[in-house]
């Protein structure tokens, strides 16, 4: 079995992958790749690296690199406060020779990597709501068990409203994801709908996690309860695979026909 990773994001190019600086220079028998990728899941333990770089004509192409190639390294990123169970690192390439057969065929431009990212975004739309659901359930149980002023916290109208708001947002979000799945099965899922779902699921899930943390009071920052872990992880999920604002601009472009970014 092999572990793989996907290298698109760079130290200076996150939301603007088309501005990547990694280059694939044509040489005899293949290409010499130089540049760096950042925030790459599994790169420190990867056996196979799918890396995107610009060729001599400035066209984005995909390349398959293998662990042990001369000039290739993947240092681990330390000190993360979110998604700590995920091994994340860089991909550093210094004139790495990649044979011609390792060039991904029939893929040019951002269409290839963005197709992969859209599938990931759809999965994230579901996963973020799963984290929100865990926070909702934890908050519900906590306010039933915790008593203040001689009665359970759950007896307060404010608490019940918060639980109702959590349930509502999660239920509506799941219905949207379910409908998108049905459209995907019919090959009728527009990428803009994925942006809508990713943006909504992550933003609402983060709000729910923060609310659940607040409902836990001081105990909300303890690892005895899951809410703070989910809250920290959702900060990352709300950012990666397209930030909240970038997806807003994608939706704005779809509605107006005007591109707000290059």
CB 211 within 8 A of CB 139: yes
CA-based max dimension of the chain? 80
User: How many CB atoms lie under 10 A from the CB of residue 70?
Assistant: 8
Q: Are 33 and 24 in contact (CB under 8 A)?
A: yes
241 is a catalytic site residue: yes
Specify the DSSP element, H or E, that contains 51: strand 48-54
* 224-240 burial code (b ≥16 CB/10 A, e <16): ebbbbbbbbbbebbbbb
Helix and strand totals (H; E) in the chain: 5, 9
Nearest residue to 9 (alpha-carbon basis) of 133, 127, 113, 136: 113
Where is 151: in which H helix or E strand? Answer: strand 151-152
Of residues 10, 90, 169, 241, which has the active-site annotation? 241
Counted residue by residue, the chain has a size of 262
Please choose, from the candidates 107, 115, 116, the residue with its C-alpha nearest in 3D space to the C-alpha of residue 53.
Answer: 107
Q: Which residues are catalytic?
A: 241
């Amino acid at each position: 079995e092999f572990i793989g990773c996907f290298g698109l994001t760079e130290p200076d190019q996150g939301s603007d992958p088309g501005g990547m600086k990694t280059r694939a220079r044509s040489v005899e028998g293949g290409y010499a790749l130089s540049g760096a990728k950042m925030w790459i899941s599994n790169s420190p333990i990867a056996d196979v690296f799918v890396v995107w770089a610009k060729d001599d004509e400035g066209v984005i192409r995909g390349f398959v690199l293998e662990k042990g190639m001369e000039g290739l390294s993947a240092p681990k990123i330390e000190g993360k406060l979110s998604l700590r169970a995920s091994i994340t690192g860089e991909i550093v390439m210094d004139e790495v020779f990649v044979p011609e057969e390792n060039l991904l065929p029939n893929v040019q431009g951002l269409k290839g990597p963005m197709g992969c990212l859209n599938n990931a975004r759809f999965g994230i739309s579901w996963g973020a709501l799963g984290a929100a659901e865990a926070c909702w359930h934890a908050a519900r149980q906590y306010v039933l068990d915790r008593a203040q002023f001689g009665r359970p916290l759950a007896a307060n109208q404010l608490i019940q409203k918060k639980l109702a708001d959590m349930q509502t947002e999660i239920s509506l979000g799941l219905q949207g994801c379910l409908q998108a799945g049905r459209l995907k099965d019919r090959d009728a899922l527009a990428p803009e709908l994925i942006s809508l779902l990713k943006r909504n699921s992550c933003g609402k899930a983060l709000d729910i996690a923060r609310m659940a943390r607040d409902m836990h009071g001081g105990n909300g920052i303890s690892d005895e309860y899951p809410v703070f872990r989910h809250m920290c992880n959702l900060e990352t999920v709300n950012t990666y695979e397209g930030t909240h604002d970038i997806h807003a601009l994608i939706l704005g472009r779809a509605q107006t026909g005007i591109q707000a970014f290059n």
